[in-house]
Amino acid sequence: MEFIRAHLLISGRVQGVGYRFSTQDMAKLYSLTGWVKNLPDGRVETVLEGDREAVQAMIQWCHKGPPHAQVEEVTVQYEPPQGLKAFEIQRSR
């Protein structure tokens, strides 16, 4: 099992459609840790940590999102894992 971390920026119609809550539900389903939040520019940002296969499956889900989302672009950057312990929804600053 290889432990990885992916940092995603998701753009399109991804705010006000339950994207963060669905992301949290899916991350828990895949046993991933990390966080998700809305950005002021209308994008959603998320960090996923866990088994490589689970993270890759979650990235594929992020390209679709919940039923009312219209995802236009997902950028993925891989980073060193930080050993996060849970998956949470963060508030935008």
93 is annotated as an active-site residue: no
Catalytic residue among 5, 38, 91, 93: 38
Quote the mean pLDDT of the chain. Answer: 97
20, 43, 52, 91: the catalytic one is 20
Q: How far apart are the first and last CA of the chain?
A: 35
pTM for the structure as a whole? 0.95
C-alpha distances (whole Å) from 10 to each of 3, 19, 23, 62, 85 are: 22, 10, 11, 8, 23
Domains of the chain: 3-82 (3.30.70.100)
In the residue annotation, 43 being an active-site residue is answered as: no
31-62: per-residue pLDDT in tens? 999 999 999 999 999 999 999 999 999 999 99
